[in-house]
Amino acid sequence: MIATDTFARFGRRMAATQGCPYLVIAETPNPIRQLDADALRVRAEAMLPTVVDGLTLPPDEIERRMQDFARGQIRPEGVVRSSTAV
């Protein structure tokens, strides 16, 4: 998934409800709407390593790398809400 930082946590929570809590998300700072083509290119190039990892790493390696991070985003400590556990 590619998302701005504003929407990445929401995307991860939604992915978790569909059984994909370890989805690889390439993030870029929000907003991007006013950026010109050159600035967008810089942002896209910065996300390329994450995109390549998401497309090429074995699922168990992605899970190993993302496990603690994803858990913190989906079910932050001290926050009570309905979501799928990691």
Please give the single-letter amino acid code of residue 85. A
CB count within 10 Å of CB 73 equals 19
Residue 34 lies in a domain: yes
Would you state the pLDDT for residue 71? Answer: 74
In angstroms, the first-to-last Cα distance of the chain is 18
Number of domains in the chain: 1
Range of the domain at 53: 2-74
Taking only the tens place, the pLDDT of each residue in 21-40 is 899 999 999 999 999 999 99
H or E stretch at 85: none
Does the residue 80 lie in any domain? no
Classify residue 63: in a domain, yes or no: yes
- Of 43, 64, 73, nearest to 85 (Cα)? 73
Q: Is 42 a member of any domain?
A: yes
Q: Which residues of the chain have pLDDT under 70?
A: 75-86
**CA 42, 32, 4, 14 torsion: positive or negative?**
negative
pTM of the model: 0.74
